[in-house]
């Protein structure tokens, strides 16, 4: 459903009263999935509009006229209301989570019949809604950029039989060389004689296959992956060798296929032991780079799949083995290619900027949707619900805010006990599986001196970055791994915009500072990883290793040599 839609602003919020969902008269065209603020949308207006409307028609193909019709939205910011042929079909709140509606009863399935989809999107400058790096003032400021309003990821239709598979939660277990599947079959399905077959393959060859009767809507099964068809019996996923098992799920009745889904998984384990992060029971030093995922003409929306691949390839070419996806829930295609290419990912929630009951409710609901939706990706090795006390500004001392972070930590763990959770990346940690520190010190020598004593940092005897403490009051360091998850941010004097610290005036000055601070971090034995700021420039923030249109500012092989030294 991507492509041209009819579009209209509704600044006076009259559309619902006038029933635009029944008779929509758009006065503009927009290219979905690009928001109106972008050049790629065909509109390119940065001014904030709180209410916008979309309309598009579709026909049901003849071969699908007896099937159920699912309308999927990968992401719409912030509240989406959807009508089909004038009938209200549903509402979703949250700018980063995917959602869908069954529109079967509202659609005309007759051959050649037009169906009208109308979408109203409501957005605001309210800081209780998770907004990440989207500005809430008229102009850009600091590290906050042009807002994102409306449909900003793919819209698509899916035609399914009444009996269909809704979801599968896939949990590999490296220690037992097995994988567990938690299936959810559509509850309206007639389950008589219905069977579910799961076939696991590697390089096209069958590894394991199992079949079961579908006697309820929720099913669980586990299977050992050891196979004599594989040279090493099993295949583990790791950055330098990202092997993926292919998996096929087939629902059938009397040898007739009623639903078929293709997927994959990686056999890998993330754990923590003795102050180290372990991948597949082996310590891994994380060389991450901050990635905000902005493009010049399309902002948060990747302009193409090729653009996603280009970003990943350039990150790997610079010697990084992972990204901290900052304040953005990324396009699923990005995560797919990270799975394929072996790039580690920290998945970070977009922040609110106020703390009250509404912010708590909005944040928690959307965060749990995202954790569930991204769970199956092996590339994701860390969850990051909070950053730099944004939305929890008094967490250092405020018990209520501290309890909120604890609740989100344990709620995340209740769904996914297998990945580390970082609570408040950067400073003022409450309970957290990893202690992360943000420090934009320019001098490697000063950095080394500041971090000479692990105990002084972790006991709040001294602050890092000279103004923030590692732990919130009432919490103690308990031997967690320590990672410097923001540093660097070097910008050139020739660029209009800002970076962290003093701007440099030459390539050699850049590398002198880059090598000094990177090596200082690597030389501290209790620090087990880092995250450099950042991959690309983003609007007024010009501290990327690449420009916003992905041109290298410095030779990438020199960056790689320093990272791997």
pLDDT digits (tens, 9 = 90+) for 521-530: 999 999 999 9
CA 480/CA 478 separation, integer angstroms: 6
Burial class (CB in 10 A: 0-12, 13-18, 19+), 146: buried
Report the pLDDT value the prediction gives residue 244, as an integer from 0 to 100.
98
In a domain, 270, yes or no: no
pLDDT digits (tens, 9 = 90+) for 304-342: 999 999 999 999 999 999 999 999 999 999 999 999 999
Domain final residue pick, 230, 265, 300: 265
Report the pLDDT value the prediction gives residue 490, as an integer from 0 to 100.
98
493 and 359 within one domain: yes
CA 486/CA 532 separation, integer angstroms: 6
CATH code for the domain of 69? 2.60.120.260
CB contact set of 23 (below 8 Å; sequence gap of 6+) = none
In a domain, 136, yes or no: yes
In a domain, 195, yes or no: yes
Hey, what's the torsion of the CAs at 360, 361, 362, 366, to 10 degrees?
100
CB contact set of 191 (below 8 Å; sequence gap of 6+) = 163, 185, 214, 215, 216
551 and 464 within one domain: yes
95 and 234 within one domain: no
Report the pLDDT value the prediction gives residue 494, as an integer from 0 to 100.
87
With the C-alpha atoms ordered 290, 295, 301, 306, is the resulting torsion angle positive or negative? negative
User: 3-state DSSP call for residue 371?
Assistant: helix
pLDDT digits (tens, 9 = 90+) for 187-242: 776 778 899 999 999 999 999 999 999 999 999 999 999 988 777 789 999 999 99
User: 3-state DSSP call for residue 339?
Assistant: helix
Bridge partner residues of 533 (DSSP): 488
146 and 169 within one domain: no
Report the pLDDT value the prediction gives residue 189, as an integer from 0 to 100.
64
Q: What is the DSSP letter of 352?
A: P
pLDDT digits (tens, 9 = 90+) for 145-182: 999 999 999 999 999 999 999 999 999 999 999 999 99
pLDDT digits (tens, 9 = 90+) for 272-305: 999 999 999 999 999 999 999 999 999 999 999 9
Question: What average pLDDT does the chain have?
Answer: 96
124 and 203 within one domain: no
148 and 176 within one domain: no
In a domain, 82, yes or no: yes
Question: Which residue has 């103690």 as its token pair?
Answer: 476
In a domain, 483, yes or no: yes
109 has a pLDDT exceeding 90: no
510 and 376 within one domain: yes
In a domain, 404, yes or no: yes
Residues 331 and 347: beta-carbon distance below 8 Å: no
CATH code for the domain of 414? 3.20.20.80
In a domain, 357, yes or no: yes
Domain final residue pick, 126, 142, 160: 160
96 and 83 within one domain: yes
Domain final residue pick, 160, 187, 217: 160
177 and 133 within one domain: no
In a domain, 115, yes or no: yes
Question: Which residue has 């797919």 as its token pair?
Answer: 336
DSSP states of 158-179 as a string? EEE-SS-EEEEEEEEEGGGTEE
Question: Which residue has 């000094």 as its token pair?
Answer: 516
User: What range does the domain containing 194 cover?
Assistant: 165-265
Structure tokens at 537: 């420039």
170 and 132 within one domain: no
DSSP states of 476-537 as a string? ---S--EEEEEEE---BTTSSSB-SSSPBSSHHHHHHHHHHHHHHHHH-TTEEEEEEE-SB-
403 and 536 within one domain: yes
The model's confidence at residue 552, banded by pLDDT at 50, 70 and 90, is: very high
User: 3-state DSSP call for residue 329?
Assistant: coil
Candidate from 60-64, 189-193, 264-268, 273-277 with smallest mean pLDDT: 189-193
Count of domains for the chain:
3
The model's confidence at residue 506, banded by pLDDT at 50, 70 and 90, is: very high
pTM above 0.85, yes or no: yes
User: 3-state DSSP call for residue 96?
Assistant: coil
228 and 99 within one domain: no
Candidate from 221-235, 383-397, 548-562 with smallest mean pLDDT: 221-235
Cβ burial 513-529 (10 Å sphere, 16+ → b, else e): bbbbbbebbbebeebbb
67 has a pLDDT exceeding 70: yes
Hey, what's the torsion of the CAs at 199, 205, 208, 211, to 10 degrees?
30
Report the pLDDT value the prediction gives residue 464, as an integer from 0 to 100.
83
CATH code for the domain of 242? 2.60.40.10
82 has a pLDDT exceeding 90: yes
């Amino acid at each position: 459903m991507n492509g041209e839609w009819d579009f209209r602003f509704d600044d006076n919020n009259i559309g619902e009263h006038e029933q635009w969902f029944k008779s929509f008269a758009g006065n503009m065209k927009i290219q979905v999935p690009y928001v109106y603020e972008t050049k790629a949308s065909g509109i390119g207006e940065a001014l904030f509009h709180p209410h916008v409307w979309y309309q598009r028609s579709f026909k049901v193909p003849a071969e699908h006229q007896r099937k159920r019709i699912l309308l999927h939205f990968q992401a719409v910011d912030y509240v989406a209301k959807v009508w089909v042929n004038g009938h209200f079909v549903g509402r979703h709140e949250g700018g980063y989570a995917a959602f869908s509606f069954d529109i079967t009863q509202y659609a005309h399935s007759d051959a050649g019949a037009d169906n009208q989809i109308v979408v109203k999107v409501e957005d605001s400058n309210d800081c209780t809604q998770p907004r990440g790096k989207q500005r809430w003032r008229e102009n850009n400021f600091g590290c906050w950029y042009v807002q994102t309003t409306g449909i900003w990821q793919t819209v698509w239709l899916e035609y399914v039989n009444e009996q269909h598979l809704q979801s599968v939660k896939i949990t590999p277990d490296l220690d037992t060389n097995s994988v567990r599947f938690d299936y959810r079959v559509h509850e309206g399905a007639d389950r008589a004689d219905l069977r579910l077959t799961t076939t696991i393959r590697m390089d096209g060859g069958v590894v394991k296959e199992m079949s079961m009767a579908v006697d309820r809507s929720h099913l669980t099964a586990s299977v050992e992956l050891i196979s004599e068809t594989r040279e090493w019996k099993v295949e583990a996923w790791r950055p330098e060798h990202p092997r993926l098992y292919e998996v096929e799920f087939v629902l059938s009745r009397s040898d007739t296929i009623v639903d078929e889904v293709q997927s994959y998984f990686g056999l890998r384990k993330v754990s923590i032991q003795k102050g180290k992060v372990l991948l597949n029971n082996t310590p891994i030093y994380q060389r991450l780079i901050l990635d905000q995922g902005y493009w010049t003409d399309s902002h948060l929306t990747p302009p193409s799949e090729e653009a996603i691949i280009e970003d990943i390839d350039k990150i790997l070419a610079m010697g990084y083995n992972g990204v901290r996806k900052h304040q953005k829930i990324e396009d699923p295609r990005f995560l797919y290619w990270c799975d394929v290419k072996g790039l580690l990912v920290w998945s970070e929630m977009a922040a609110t900027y106020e703390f009250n009951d509404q912010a708590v409710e909005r944040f928690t609901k959307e965060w749990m949707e995202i954790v569930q939706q991204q769970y199956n990706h092996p590339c994701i090795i860390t969850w990051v619900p909070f950053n730099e006390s944004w939305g929890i500004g008094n967490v250092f001392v405020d018990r209520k805010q501290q309890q909120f972070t604890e609740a989100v930590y344990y709620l995340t763990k209740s769904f996914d006990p297998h990945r580390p959770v970082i609570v408040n990346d950067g400073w003022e940690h409450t309970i957290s599986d990893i202690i992360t520190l943000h420090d934009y010190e320019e001098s490697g020598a000063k950095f080394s001196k500041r971090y000479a004593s692990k105990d002084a940092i972790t006991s709040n005897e001294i602050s890092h970055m000279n103004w923030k403490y590692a732990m919130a009051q009432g919490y103690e360091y308990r031997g967690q791994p320590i990672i410097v998850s923001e540093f660097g941010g070097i910008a050139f004097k020739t660029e209009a915009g800002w970076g962290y610290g003093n701007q440099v005036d030459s390539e050699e000055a850049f590398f002198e500072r880059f090598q000094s601070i990177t090596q200082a971090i690597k030389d501290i034995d209790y620090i087990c990883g880092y995250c450099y700021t950042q991959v690309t420039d983003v609007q007024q923030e010009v501290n990327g290793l690449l420009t916003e249109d992905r041109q290298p500012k410095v030779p990438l092989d020199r960056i790689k040599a320093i990272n791997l030294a």
